[in-house]
Each structure stands twice: as structure tokens, then as C-alpha cells.
Amino acid sequence: MGRGRFHLKTLGQERSLSAFRVQAGAGAAGPDPPRGRVHLLGNGADSVSLTDYCAAALLLLLPATMFHLLLAARSGPARLLGPPASLPGLEALWSPRALLLWLAWLGLQAALYLLPARKVAEGQELKDKSRLRYPINGNPIYDFFLGRELNPRICFFDFKYFCELRPGLIGWVLINLALLMKEAELQGSPSLAMWLVNGFQLLYVGDALWHEEAILTTMDITHDGFGFMLAFGDIAWVPFTYSLQAQFLLHHPQPLGLPMASVICLINAIGYYIFRGANSQKNTFRKNPSDPRVAGLETISTATGRKLLVSGWWGMVRHPNYLGDLIMALAWSLPCGVSHLLPYFYLLYFTALLVHREARDERQCLQKYGLAWQEYCRRVPYRIMPYIY
């Protein structure tokens, strides 16, 4: 086992505790090469070098310098380079209360360090190619909002996965249905607009539940922590604001003729076709790139070993699934007519959400895939909407 040397920048030869850890470990990386060491006694690993003497001297010099500085500051002449001030008696240096205070201070800091609401950063690559993870200061408000814990679970119960699909999404459909029944009670029968809104959104939720497994590759699951954003979003925001069109229709009945209803159905069908096609294509490709449904598509290789699709839906724009989703969002608002902006809230909010989400994903993909991602952007220049954005 190699001998560990602590981090002493003053030696001009920086050695980190991580290096110490690797060296002192199972010998994975072997002994540290003795860069710039002047050997005074013996050879190889057991020799004593000038560096070792310097380190030993500093073990004494550093505490002595600290004492000198503190005592000199309290003395009358306060001379930096004067003779060392005499040490006070032992009884002045030892105080159980001071020790307790010091331990309490360390304990408080350790407790804060262990708090779950913090950011985790990766350190530099070690000699065995691994990286240690360090909790570092986070922004508590931002951390609370975004969440730090990626997959909080109690045994098999995964809180984020559960909230993403079940209470909110199914709750949204139930609220819609309740509004449809209320309208039937008030008007005698549900309006065509109400049927369309209910039908479209039921299709969307049914699709999410049918393709339940696909949620495992979405950003929410793979990247975002389970904080306020997802907890509130899934349980409150989705069921109550996504059912806004049905709520609006209940209080503001809208006439809708069959021709217009057919056009709206066509828009929803186009949106769904793009949305489902793009999501399924990527999902199939990620699960098995040699699946016959995607094997013929053009790809770009990346340094990570994963490939990027550059033809098919993902060769049209860089987020075809968002485009399909937005087209459907438009179809959900159109049955409410054009007299009010309120039913279009979802479309506006969702556009902002997806533009922001797309930018976040771009940053992550650029970090993950580097040059290959730049090549993808060059070959597929539009993000969401061909020739527009």
C-alpha cells in the first residue's frame, strides 16, 4: 500500500485526497509516480525524499505559524516578524466548553452537509476512471422547486412514477367526464364541442396509459427530480388546468357544426399521428436499434456508443413529438370557438413549456453527445416546427 500524503499546495506539488484514496486503496492504480522528488535515503518506494522532510516540517510549522500570528495580534507590538510571543499557560488553552462549542459547530455543518436538498457534483476522474460525487451548496428554493431526489421510493412504490401517470392523468379524464355529465344535466345532452374535448383528451390519456412503459425514457423520469414542479404539476396542475376547455364549455356553451367538427377531428388526428409516430419510433430505436421497424433509418454515431436518428420523424425536426403534441393542443381549444382566449391557455402555456423543455434537452444532449449533436443540428436545423422554429 502506498503512503498517503495530504493535500499541501504549499509544496508546489498538488496531491489531492482523492489521489490519496486511490493510492491507499486496493492498489488499483499502483503507486503514484514520484514526480520531482529528490531522494535522500534508500531507493524506490521506501526512500525518504526532500519532499517528505518538507511535509514533516510543515506539520509543525503550520500550527506554530498560526499560534504565532494569533498571539502576535493580541500582543502590544503586534510584530509579524518579531520574536515568537510566549504561549499562555495550559489552563488558558484548554476549555471543555470551547471543545463542546467546536464539536457542536462541526455537527451542525455535518448535518447541513447531509441535508437531502442539495446539488451533487461529480469530481475529477480518478486513476481508476471512476468519479466521486460531492454534495455542494444548492439554491434551496430552486432545489425545492425542481427536487433533488430523482426516484424517491418506499420499497416498490415509486412516488414520481405513480404521480406522473395515475392520480393526475386519470383525474383529468374524470373531471372532464363529470363536466360532460353536468352539461348533460343542465342542457339535456352534452354538446358536440364537449364530446370532442372529452374524446380528444381521453385518447391522449388512454395513449399515455397504453404506452406506459414509454414514460420511462421521458425527461421527467430520467432527469428531473421529484420536487414541487412535478408533485404539484402531476397532482394539481394537470387535472385542474388541463380540463379548462371542458370547464369553459360548461359555463359558455359553444355552437359547433359538423363540418367544423370534422376539420378539428382531422387536426387532432394529424397531431396524434405525428406525436405517436415520433414517440414510438424513438422508443423502439432506444430499446432495440435493430428492430426491423427502425433498422433502415439513417443514424449518427456518438462517442457514448448510442446513436441518433437522423431520418424518419427525427430527421424532420429535432422534436417531432412536441410538434404533434402542439397540434393536438390546438385541436382541443378549437371546439371552444374563438370568442375567448381562456380555452387557448393550454396551447399558450404548453408552447412555452415545450420551447423551454426543448432548450433544456438541447443543452443536455449537447453535453452528452458533443460533436455528434452538433452534426445532428446541422443536418436537422429546425427544432420543433419545420421552416419556422
Where on the chain is the footprint of ligand NDP (CB under 6 A)? 218-219, 275, 279, 282, 285-286, 306, 308-309, 314, 319, 321-322, 325, 357, 361, 364-365, 376
State in angstroms the smallest separation of the CB of 209 from ligand NDP.
Answer: 13
DSSP string across 102-136: HHHHHHHHHHHHH-SSSEEEE----TTS---EEEE
State in angstroms the smallest separation of the CB of 302 from ligand NDP.
Answer: 8
Which residue carries 428531473 as its cell?
224
**Closer by beta carbon to ligand NDP, 84 or else 206:** 206
**Closer by beta carbon to ligand NDP, 85 or else 246:** 246
Please tell me whether residue 87 adopts helix, strand or coil conformation: coil
Query: Nearest to ligand NDP by Cβ — which residue?
Result: 218
State in angstroms the smallest separation of the CB of 171 from ligand NDP.
Answer: 14
For residues 149 and 100, what is the distance between their CA atoms, to the nearest angstrom? 34
State in angstroms the smallest separation of the CB of 32 from ligand NDP.
Answer: 37
State in angstroms the smallest separation of the CB of 338 from ligand NDP.
Answer: 23
For residue 371, list its beta bridge partners: none
**Closer by beta carbon to ligand NDP, 33 or else 305:** 305
Helix (H) or strand (E) holding 307: strand 307-309
Under DSSP, the state recorded for 158 is E
**Closer by beta carbon to ligand NDP, 16 or else 351:** 351
**Closer by beta carbon to ligand NDP, 117 or else 365:** 365
Under DSSP, the state recorded for 318 is S
Helix (H) or strand (E) holding 299: strand 299-301
Q: Are residues 193 and 256 in contact, defined by beta-carbon separation less than 8 angstroms?
A: yes
For residues 352 and 358, what is the distance between their CA atoms, to the nearest angstrom? 10
For the packed helices 345-369 and 244-251, what is the interaxial angle rounded to 10 degrees? 170
**Closer by beta carbon to ligand NDP, 190 or else 271:** 271
Helix (H) or strand (E) holding 65: helix 50-74
State in angstroms the smallest separation of the CB of 141 from ligand NDP.
Answer: 23
